[in-house]
Amino acid sequence: MQDLKTDYAISRENREREIYEEFQMLCAKPGAMKVKVSQVLCKKHNVKSVNTIANIRKRVESRLYREFIAISQP
């Protein structure tokens, strides 16, 4: 099936996925705190708010869940 997303939407999803994966990697380190990890990612990706990082994480987790459900359906 053809992807009906715009180039902007695709690039935004890719950026969000990259931020999500980096967040997961940094949080996996012993002693890492989610707030500090979010602050580091805000600086690195020029995001203005820590809550934006939380919203990005929620969106990516939702997307991953939908992909998982779609794959697991017969």
Query: What is the pLDDT, as a whole number, of residue 72?
Result: 82
> What is the count of structural domains for the chain?
1
Q: What is the domain range of residue 61?
A: 7-72
Does residue 18 belong to any structural domain of this protein? yes
Does residue 12 belong to any structural domain of this protein? yes
Contacts of 57 (CB under 8 A, 6+ apart): 19, 20, 23
Does residue 30 belong to any structural domain of this protein? yes
Does residue 1 belong to any structural domain of this protein? no
C-alpha 69/C-alpha 62 separation (Å) is 11
Quick one: tokens of 42?
Answer: 């805000």
pTM for this prediction: 0.86
Name which of 41, 9, 16, 42 is nearest 27 in CA terms: 41
pLDDT at 2 over 90: no
**pLDDT digit string, tens, across residues 22-57:** 999 999 999 999 999 999 999 999 999 999 999 999
- E-strand stretches of the chain: none
Terminal-residue alpha carbon distance, the chain: 17
Does residue 27 belong to any structural domain of this protein? yes
Does residue 35 belong to any structural domain of this protein? yes
